Structure 1
Amino acid sequence: MFWEGSSVVRALTLAGCPLHELLDRQAARLARRLVRGFAEQIPLYRRLPKEALDGDITAITEHNLRLISRVIRDRRPPARADLAPLRESAARRAQEGVPLEALLAAYHLGARMVWEELFAGAGPGDVSDVLEAGRIILLYMEAATTAVGTAYLEERESLLSQEQHAMHATVSALLSGDRAALAGVRLAPRYLVLAVAAGRHPDEDGPGGAIAARRKLHRISTALQRHVAEPVLPALDTTGGLVLVPLQGTKPAVGEPLQEPGEPHQGAEPAVGELAAAAGKAAGVPVWLAAECAPPQGVPAAARLAEEVLEVVRVFEQPPGAYRLADVLLEYQLTRSSQATALLAGLLDPLLDNPDLLRTLTVYLDTGLDRRRTAELLHVHPNTVDYRLRRAVSLTGLDPVDPAHLQRIGAALAARRLTGLR
C-alpha cells in the first residue's frame, strides 16, 4: 500500500506482486521487444534505420512503459509534464516524415503487447485488479495519443507553413524575374506555366461561400498535382490565377514541345488537356487553362502570354479546356488594338437591321457550315437557313462558300465579339 494525499491506496497486484513493480523491472527488456514488434508488424517501422530503432524509438518506448507503471501505481492519468518526451518524440517523427497513422499504430500495438505480457499468467483471483489495470491503461492511452497527435499535427502545420512560405517566395521570384531572390533555390530546367480560370461553384453563393471557394481551389490544385510528377507551384485566388509545373530534363519527352513563349505549338504538352478536364471534374466547375512552356528566366514572359491567351479565350466564349496561342491566333491578333478591328466589325453592319440574318450567319460558321445543324439550333427549316444566307450575301457581298470571303466573315464576327457587338 502507499499514500495518495491523505488516503491509503492499495497497489494493484498480480499473483501477490505489485503490477507497477513487475512492469518497472522489465521495462528495458520489454521496450526492446516492443520495438522489434513495431518493425515486424508496421511496414513503415520496418524501413527505419536501425540507429533510429535502437536509439530514439527504444528510448521513448521505455519511457512510455515506465510512465504506464507510474500511472498504474498512482491510479491517475499522467500529468502534462510527464507527456513532454512523447510530444517531443512525435514532433521529431513529423520532421522525419513518419505518417501519423504509423505512429499511432505503434502506440496501440505497444499497449496490446504490454497487456499480453503483463497478464498472460493472471489467475481467477486477479480478475478485479486486471480489470482495473486495463481501465487505467486505457486512460493512459487516451492522454498519450492525444498528446502525440496534437504535437505531431502542430509540427506538421509549422513545417507546411514554412514550406508554403518558401514555395510562395519561389513563385513570386519566378514570376517577377527576381534572380537575386532565386539564388540558392533549386529550379527546374523548364516550367509549364498555366493560366487558370475557374467558374463559380453554386456553394460559393451560400452562407459558407468563402469556405466553398477555398475548397474549390484545393480540389483544383490537388487534381493538377495528381497528373504531374513534380510538386506544382500555385498562385490562385477564387477565380483562378497561375500555376507553375516544374518539368524535369533538358529535352522534352515524346509529345512535349520545347519552344520559347509564343511559338506555334508542336504537339500536346504533357497531359495539359487532361489537366483541364481533371481540374474541372474535381472542382465541379468549368475550368479553362492557357499553357506556355519556358525555362526559369522565361517564366515572366510565358506567364504574361498565358494570361493574355486565357483572356482571349474567355472574351471569345470558348468552351472549357486547354489552350495555346496557336489555338486562338486570329482572336489573339484581333485583340491587339488597331484601326482594322473596327473596320472588320463594320463589314457586317448591313445585317444589323435584321438580327436573324446575323444570328444565322454566326451559327452557320460555328457549326462548320452545316446548314441542317444550323436549322436545328435555330429551330427553323433548312430552307429558311438557305434564304437567310442568300439575303446576308446580297447585303454584305460576302459569301461564306468563297474561302476568301469566309475568312473575312470569321474575322468580322470575331471583331464584333471583341468590341462587344453582337
Structure 2
Amino acid sequence: MTPKAGSRRRKAGPSVNEPGEAWLTGVAEDASAAAGGVPVELLGDYLPLLADAAANGRKPRRSELEAVEALGRRAAELGVSAGSAVQLYLSASWRLWRELPVVVRSSDSEVVRAAAETVLHVVADAVAILADGYNSARRQMVRREETLRRELIDDLLRGDSDVGGIVERAEPFGLDLARPHQVALAAPHRRLPDVDAATSSLERIVLDRLGDRDVLVATKDGLVVVLAPGESESPGRTRTDLGSLMLAELDRLPRGRPWQVAVGRAYPGSYGIARSYEEAREALTMASRLHLDTPVIRAEQLLVYRVLVRDQPAIVDLVNAVLGPLEKARGGAEPLLATLETYFATGDVATETARQLHLSVRAVTYRLGRIKTLTGYDPTDPAHRFTLHATVLGARLLGWPKNEPANAHS
C-alpha cells in the first residue's frame, strides 16, 4: 500500500498492526483460511474500517470505498474467483462482529443494535463496491485477452516472420507451436447476423472434445476459424474428425445453414499453421468455383485441382483448344459445359444427368452429341473422357466461359 493510502488508514480507525488491535490480524487470517487461502492483502483496511464503524457509527468515506473497489480489481488480476473474494469479506465481517469489543463488552441492547445496523450497512456497501471493481477488471481483462488473441491468430494465419515473438505470445493461450496444428474454416450459406454466437457455440464443443490446449476459435473475413491439434488421436480421447465435429455443431444453429467446412492438413511450427490456413482457404475457393456442395472438404482431396491450376498458361491453352468451339453453339457454351459437368459427376449416367438438370434424357443425349460434333471429343468414349473431364474442371477453376481464359486468375 502507498504511504498516502497508509495515512488514510490511520485516520479511518485502528489498524490491525497497532497495539491493542492485534485481534484484527487473527480475524483476517482466519477469514483467509475459511475462504480457501485467499490472500489477506485483499482485505486492505476493511477490518479497521468495519471496527471503526461499529465503535463510532462512522460511514465509510468515498476514498475508503474506492480503496475497496481497487481491491476487487486486484482480486480479479490475481485470478481469485468472485465468489472467493466475497466469501473472504463476509467471513471476515461475521468473525469481526463476533469478537468486536463494543459488542462483547456491552449489555445495552440499543448499543448493540446501533452497532449492528452500522456494520451491516458498511458490509453491504463494501461487498457491492468490491464486486463492481472485480467485474470491471474482468471485463477489461476479457477485452484485452480477446484483442491479444485476435492479433495472435491474425499473425499465425499470415505466417509472421517473428517466430520467437509468436512462440512467446502463443504460450499464455496454451499453444505449443512445436506440435502439428491444422486450420479449419467454416463458411455460412448466408451472412450471419451474430457471428459471435456461432463462434461461442463452436468453441464450447471443440474445447470439450479436444481439450483447452492448442485450440483457438475466432472469426476472420466472415469465416469461423478453428485452430486445433493436428494429431488424429489425443491421449485418453477417441479419434476426432475436426471437420465433421464442426459441421455437426454449426448445423444446430438456426442461421447460416447449409455450412461448408474446409480443413487444411496438419503441419508443425508457426509457418505450418499459415500453410494449413492457406490450404483450407484455397479449398473453399476451389469448391465455390467447381460448384461443390460437399459439406466437409479436406485439402488433400483437392490436390488434383491444385495441379490443374498450377500451370495456368497450360490449362488456359487446354480450355481454348478443347472447349473453345462450344461457344459457337446456340445459347453459348455454358449449357453444354453444365451438361458435361453433371454427366461426369453422375458417373456418366444420362438419366441421372437429365434429372439433376431438369431435362429429358433425349435433351441430354442431344447435347452430348453436339459436344462431340463441335469439339471432336466424345463424352461417352472412355478414351476421350479424361481429357474432357480435366478440361471441364479447368474451365470451372478459371471461371470460363464467363471469364475469358487468357484473362482469368487462378
TM range (shorter): 0.5 to 0.7
Asked if 1:176 corresponds to 2:160, the answer is yes
Query: How far does residue 394 in structure 1 lie from its aligned partner after superposition?
Result: 1.8
| Contact 1:293–1:302, Cα closer than 8 Å, also in 2 | yes
Q: Distance in 2 between matches of 1:345 and 1:293?
A: 37
| Contact 2:27–2:92, Cα closer than 8 Å, also in 1 | no
List aligned pairs for 1:60-75, cutoff 5 A. 60-61=42-43, 63-73=45-55, 75=57
**Aligned residue pair count:** 358
- Please list every run of 5 or more consecutive structure 2 residues that lacks an aligned counterpart in the other structure: 1-20, 403-410
The residue that corresponds to 2:185 in the other structure is 196
Query: How far does residue 407 in structure 1 lie from its aligned partner after superposition?
Result: 3.7
Query: How far does residue 175 in structure 1 lie from its aligned partner after superposition?
Result: 0.7
The residue that corresponds to 1:21 in the other structure is none
The residue that corresponds to 1:316 in the other structure is 290
Match of 1:101 among 58, 83, 86: 83
Q: TM-score, normalised by structure 2?
A: 0.65
Q: Distance in 1 between matches of 2:384 and 2:90?
A: 78
Asked if 1:415 corresponds to 2:394, the answer is yes
- Please list every run of 5 or more consecutive structure 1 residues that lacks an aligned counterpart in the other structure: 1-23, 39-44, 205-211, 257-267
List aligned pairs for 1:370-389, cutoff 5 A. 374=353, 376-379=355-358, 384-385=360-361, 387-389=362-364
> Closer, same or farther in 2 for the Cα pair 1:27/1:294, shift >3 Å?
same
Asked if 1:37 corresponds to 2:37, the answer is no
Match of 1:295 among 258, 268, 272: 268
> Closer, same or farther in 2 for the Cα pair 1:254/1:102, shift >3 Å?
same
Asked if 1:327 corresponds to 2:319, the answer is no
Q: Distance in 2 between matches of 1:28 and 1:102?
A: 19
Q: Distance in 2 between matches of 1:400 and 1:314?
A: 24
User: CA offsets, 1:32-90, max 9 Å, x none?
Assistant: 4433432xxxxxx2xx5xxxx5xx32x54584333223334454642243245544543
Q: Residue 159 of structure 2 aligns to a residue in which SS?
A: helix
The residue that corresponds to 2:223 in the other structure is 240
The residue that corresponds to 2:244 in the other structure is 273
Q: Distance in 2 between matches of 1:239 and 1:124?
A: 71
Q: Residue 176 of structure 1 aligns to a residue in which SS?
A: coil
Q: Distance in 2 between matches of 1:357 and 1:129?
A: 96
Match of 2:127 among 144, 150, 156: 144
| Contact 2:82–2:134, Cα closer than 8 Å, also in 1 | no
Q: Distance in 2 between matches of 1:114 and 1:342?
A: 90
Q: Distance in 2 between matches of 1:254 and 1:202?
A: 34
> Closer, same or farther in 2 for the Cα pair 1:135/1:283, shift >3 Å?
farther
Q: Residue 304 of structure 1 aligns to a residue in which SS?
A: helix
Asked if 1:390 corresponds to 2:372, the answer is no
| Contact 2:181–2:229, Cα closer than 8 Å, also in 1 | yes
Q: Distance in 1 between matches of 2:349 and 2:125?
A: 71
Q: Distance in 1 between matches of 2:98 and 2:346?
A: 75
The residue that corresponds to 1:340 in the other structure is 318
Q: Distance in 1 between matches of 2:284 and 2:378?
A: 31
Moved more, 411-420 or 238-247: 238-247
